[in-house]
A and B are shown apart, each in its own frame.
Chain A
Amino acid sequence: MTEHRDFAEFYAASFHKLAGALYVYTGDLAEAQDVVQEAMIRALARWSAVSTYEEPAAWVRRVAWNLATSRWRRVRRGFELAVRDHVEQDAAGPEPDRVAVVAALATLPARQRQAVVLHYLEDLPIAEVAEMVGAAEGTVKSWLHRARTALADRLSDLAPEEVDRV
C-alpha cells in the first residue's frame, strides 16, 4: 500500500497486539508499553516513509524488539529507575493462571524466549525469525526445540515436538 496512512489509526490498530507480544517476552507490562511507545515515536518521526511500506507494523515490530533486547537500554532504564529511587510497583496485570507460560518463558535464555514469541505468537516463519535475531535458521530451530522441551517440563499441558514439523 502506498497511500498515506493515518498514524493515529495505525497506532490504535497496532499498539495492543505488539505490546501484548512483548509482554509475553519481557513479563513486564510497563516495559512492554515503553518499548512499543518508543518504536511508535520513531515510526512517527519518519512516518512519511514508514507509512508507504507494505507492512508498517513489521517495521515498528522490529524496532520494538530491538529496543526490548537492547542491553544498553536495559542498563539505562535500570539506572533511571535507581536515580529516581523508583520502586517497581506490581502493576495490575493478568491473572497468574493465565500467564503461567510467561513465568515459564522467563526461565529460558533471552534468545530462545525471543524466538518462541516471534515464531509461535507473532507467527513469523523461522527464516524471518533467524533474519531478525541475526542467527542461522538451524540455530533458531535448535533454540525452539530446546525451548519447547524446557517449557514442557514446566507446563503440564505442553508436550515437546520437533519444530521442523511446525
Chain B
Amino acid sequence: MSDDLRRLLGDASAAARPHLSPPGAEAARRTLRRRRLTRASVLAVVAAVLALAGLQQLPHRGPAPTPLVPTPVPGPSTGPSATPSPSPSAAVSASPSPTGQPRPGPSPSRSRSSSNQVLASPAAPPPCLPAVRPRIAGATAPGPGTMTFSLTAADVSRLCPGRRMHISWASYRVTFESRLVLVDSGELDLDATTRTGTGTLSDVYGCQADRYFYLGSHTFPAEIAPNTHLSLPAWSAGRTTGLFEKHYLPRDGCAFY
C-alpha cells in the first residue's frame, strides 16, 4: 500500500534529521559573499587584461614600438630619440586582486570551519588605465581654424591618477611638386584638471594635406617626400570628430591635381 511506503519513507527521512548539521544561514551568506568577491576579482582582472590589449592596439610609430604613454612628469618637448616612457604593459597599475582568494571547491557544508576566513570587504575597484585616447574635433576644418582635443569625463575617470596625455600634432600642405610641407604644429597636455586643449591652424596657401597626431612628444619633419606619409595616426577626412585613427587626409579637390 502506498500508505506503507509513505510511512517508511517518512520514517527514514525523520530518522535522518537528528543527524543533520546544517551549516546555517550565516554560512550561506559568507559563501555568497566570497563568491561575489571572487567574481568581482575575476571581472576586474579580465577588464584589466582587455584594457591592456586595447591599449596595445593603439598605433605605433615606425617599426620599433613607440611609447604610447607619455611620462607622467611634464617637461620640455623631446625629440623622437628621447627615452621612451614605460610601455603600457609596464605602466598599468597592479591588478586589484583581493587578498582573500577562496579555497577551491569545498562543498558548502564542509566549508563551515573555514568560512570565518572570508573577507567582508567590498568589491575591488576597477583598474585605472595608463592612457586613454583623446578625442578630436575640427580636425578637418580648413585653416584658419581651431582643432579641439578633449578627454571625456569617462576617460578621465578611467585614467590613473596623475597621468597626463601629451599630444603632438602637425598640419601639412601639399606643393605643386607633391611634396608635403609642414604648416602648423603644436603640443599640449590633457589631464583630469585640463580636459580640453586646442591647436591653431593657420591659413594655408595651396591645398591642405595630411594632419598627424601623436600621443607623446614628437618632432615632425619639415617636409615629407611626394606620395609618402608618416607612419603616424592621421586624420580621416569626412569625419568631424573622433579618436586618433590611422587614416590620411585625401587631397581631393586640390587645385594642383
Contacts and interface: CB of A to CB of B under 8 A. Distances in A.
* A in complex with B: yes
Interface of A: 7-8, 11-12, 15-17, 19-21, 23-24, 29-30, 32-34, 36-38, 40-41, 44-45, 76-77, 80, 83, 91-95, 98-102, 116-117, 120-121, 148, 151, 155, 157-159, 161, 163, 165-166
Contacts of A117: 9
What DSSP secondary structure best describes chain B's contact surface?
helix
Interface in B22-76: 22-29, 31-32, 35
Nearest to A21: B13
B21 interface: yes
Nearest to A158: B4
Contact of B109 (A33, A99, A151): A33
A44 B32 contact: yes
A73 to B, nearest CB: 10
Given A11-B22, A98-B11, A98-B15, A120 B2 contact: yes
Given A102-B12, A161-B1, 20 more contacts: A7-B25, A17-B13, A24-B9, A24-B13, A29-B16, A34-B107, A37-B22, A37-B107, A40-B28, A94-B12, A94-B19, A98-B15, A101-B8, A101-B12, A121-B13, A148-B5, A151-B5, A155-B8, A159-B1, A161-B2
Given A12-B25, A33-B21, A121 B10 contact: yes
What DSSP secondary structure best describes chain A's contact surface?
helix
